[in-house]
Structure 1
């Protein structure tokens, strides 16, 4: 079967997928393919490499269909479609099992209750989100008498925001929205640095700005350098600033930020790359950042319908947050309609024309700088407007924003 071969070929190209999937030998209906899969599992258990050479030298090529077959299936690899291939494979196996159950039921003259039970058991094998409330409440039964504080989420680096949210929480989708030039990217980089300095692995998907430009922004905000100086460091940095340069470089390096800057990435590409980073840093807490939501490439079926396309993307980002059990922060650009009001502070209604972003998000935070409209360069106030907070209160929080360095500070 082509689906089986495509899955095996993809694992040959990206062996980490073997451990990330719930594949079982019985899902493979072709004997040769099942043998390849079993050999891969055996190699993984021994800590050996999963590749064409190792398979051929440690196994029996004739059981795999020969070296020619392994070469052929390797050319069928497609990481982007791996999840959909696995889903198709399991669905095919389940349909085959249903037919087997009905055949046995007919032969052994089962009653209706037994047939129903067996079919329900088969469907139950698909369920991976089952939770028994009895087990869930046992986890918190003693909390009212336990003085131990609930662990905080990933630090935000802004005290008032930290107090309001208890830090960024796993599986949350956080939308940070604003008009252009309000400091969205700098705020995102601030949160990424804070996450990295506290032991997390921040992953940034920059769909507009290059990795080099993000690097320069990170260094400027960390070293407190005017961004205009980054264009010619040799000429524009003072001797004093050159003296702090290596310290700034070191601090930025310590963030462990991972950047993907290809434009027009799809949700599937984002998911695949997150999985790769997770495999690269096993056991580490991830935090995902996207700059910005509407630049994610929509599925073909939604081309021409921006509302449905954005809704599908925001729902998919929430699914990624749950799948990898980490916060996902996505920037969003607000339309010009905000500018038409006397009070230009954004409101939730400004998001409602953008699909189901407001509905899917756990937190919606708007950014507003009065200095952008007043042109007052001495006004460094930044308003962080918590307009939606599924697990807490809303309101306006205050921070300081240096528009020249990109640094964010507490008031």
Structure 2
């Protein structure tokens, strides 16, 4: 086997020469011209721009273009393509292709040469990013804040690690079609026909098709309606269902459920954990908080904690988090542990990047646009909770609608899905008459009939129908669950 050329030592490079290895580039290109099948082992991650010598980059790209079309790409065929290439003429013209063939590594070693070329390209990119950061850090402008520089650095490093993720530019229609077919195949093969991540609620999954990557999902409701409870239930179910397979490169591919990042800007991590324990054990949360439990329940809680403590659910309870910091932390979580779902509770508590704006509407607009951009960049669904305006309380019919969203223009426009949590029992309970009266008996009968019922009203969905999903709600456990099949749906929004 041909030995890999040693990486150039610092003293072998001139002061301004970035890391590179032309021998490795030649050895790989020569092997590729001999054996076009090599491209299918490196084409997913090695690009023409990764070659230090631009001529090498053009040769690789020309060969790649032919190979993906099913054509032969050897020295004879490429000779015609490069006879008029000025850069190639400078280093010997088309005869240089013969030099590459003489330098060719065998197929087994060629992939390692390609990895070396790729690694050196990443190092050069890191040097460029470092230079940009150093320049920005020495900027004495009063508008340049250290925290913003850190967030900018994290963003650039994330994009580099993801090899272009959010900055990938145009996508060919054939590639988009391939992604669409892959999603359809996943839905076909997955039980229940879901193309996204299951929420743990069958009725909701059947309406939404699961939680889809890149979607911004707004979950809105008046206080005490249960929007935090529903978001927590979904996050918990996704984390509990997490399964993955390990790929050849050691990375993990999620096959079910997912890793969840939960930004709890209102509740503390401890309060959120208490809700999850109540959900898992069935012991009411208020009893856990007050210590109104017996020895058997305590043992049940302790056993439950041991069973769920390893779930891939990560909670950040920093209050008043700026949107830039939130995005940076999400990127970091994805790099360290993986990430399949983000929950933000709630978006009106997220501040703009500058911390000040001309109007609240403008600031919320910035936040919702950034959340949508984050969903696309990280390729995960983002569930963002939102408050509703008080005008709901002024109507006789208190079922929420899109116009009830605070700063509704920006939220409704940026969201892919808008859902409202509504519990008629919340309002019915406030109409409670004096006990012992005939009115109380009639009220009690009506209240008991709706006490454990809830609705999720889908007011907007880019990729599917709107309508209402009926769920069961256990207030003691702050737990949403499915109703019987015949009671699940109401396709009218009244």
TM-score by length of 2: 0.56
Contact 1:205 1:290 survives alignment (8 Å): yes
Matched with 2:239 is 196
User: Offset of 1:297 from its aligned partner?
Assistant: 1.1
Contact 1:79 1:272 survives alignment (8 Å): no
Contact 1:222 1:251 survives alignment (8 Å): no
Matched with 1:388 is 460
User: Offset of 1:275 from its aligned partner?
Assistant: 1.6
Contact 1:311 1:354 survives alignment (8 Å): no
Deviations 1:321-376 (A, max 9, x none): 00000000000011111000001010011126334101111110000001111114
Local SS of the residue matching 2:386: strand
Is 1:160 aligned to residue 203 of structure 2? Answer: yes
Is 1:407 aligned to residue 479 of structure 2? Answer: yes
Local SS of the residue matching 1:272: helix
Deviations 1:11-67 (A, max 9, x none): xxxxxxxxxxxx9999xxxxxxxxxxxxxxx9x969xxxxxxxxxxxxxxxxx9xxx
Deviations 1:68-113 (A, max 9, x none): x9xx99xx99564346469999xxxxxxxxxxxxxxxxxxxxxxxx
Matched with 2:284 is 226
Residues 267-278 of structure 1 mapped to structure 2, 5 A cutoff = 267-278=323-334
User: Offset of 1:172 from its aligned partner?
Assistant: 0.4
Unpaired segments ≥5 residues, structure 1 = 1-22, 27-41, 47-63, 90-125
Cα RMSD between the aligned structures?
3.7
User: Per the alignment, do residues 355 and 25 of structure 1 end up closer, same or farther by CA in structure 2, a change over 3 Å counting?
Assistant: farther
Pick the aligned partner of 1:133 from 150, 173, 185.
173
Pick the aligned partner of 1:335 from 386, 389, 400.
389
Is 1:178 aligned to residue 178 of structure 2? Answer: no
Distance 2:316 2:280 in 1: 21
Local SS of the residue matching 2:412: helix
User: Per the alignment, do residues 193 and 251 of structure 1 end up closer, same or farther by CA in structure 2, a change over 3 Å counting?
Assistant: farther
Distance 2:299 2:153 in 1: 54
Is 1:208 aligned to residue 262 of structure 2? Answer: no
Greater relative contact order structure (CA < 8 Å, 6+ sep): 1
User: Per the alignment, do residues 349 and 295 of structure 1 end up closer, same or farther by CA in structure 2, a change over 3 Å counting?
Assistant: same
Distance 1:381 1:399 in 2: 6
Structure 1, 334-343 or 304-313: larger mean CA deviation:
304-313
Contact 2:261 2:339 survives alignment (8 Å): no
User: Per the alignment, do residues 403 and 285 of structure 1 end up closer, same or farther by CA in structure 2, a change over 3 Å counting?
Assistant: same
Residues 214-253 of structure 1 mapped to structure 2, 5 A cutoff = 214-233=272-291, 236-253=292-309
Distance 2:334 2:285 in 1: 32
TM-score by length of 1: 0.67
